[in-house]
Amino acid sequence: MTAGDPERIPAEVWPRPGQLRDAAAALQRLGFRVLHLGTTISVDAPEAVWHQVFGDSVRTGQVSIPATLHGLVDDVSFVEPPDLHR
């Protein structure tokens, strides 16, 4: 969780080559807060956003990339193991 905002779950998103800015924009449209752009895209979002976008695959920490992000995102790595209680 990010310091001072325990309701948000942080992660690093690995964009496809050449898709950094488009992937970041898509993530923002889906409700993620983009914190930093570099080799990866640092994001965070409330648990509800993670479930809405990635479904139940978030529970395992090994997310399946949804169709809305295909072609933009290769992988997602959680900064800390998610603590999802649903």
Q: What is the 3-state secondary structure (H, E, C) of 31-82?
A: CCEEEEECCCEEEEEEHHHHHHHHHHHHHHCCCCCCHHHCCCEEEEEECCCC
- The yes-or-no verdict on residue 78 having pLDDT over 90 is no
**Boundaries of every domain in the chain:** 8-75
Model confidence at 54: pLDDT above 70: yes
Instruction: Express as a percent the part of the chain with pLDDT over 70.
Output: 85
Structure tokens at 46: 């409330």
Does the pLDDT value for residue 32 go beyond 80?
yes
pLDDT confidence of residue 2: 43
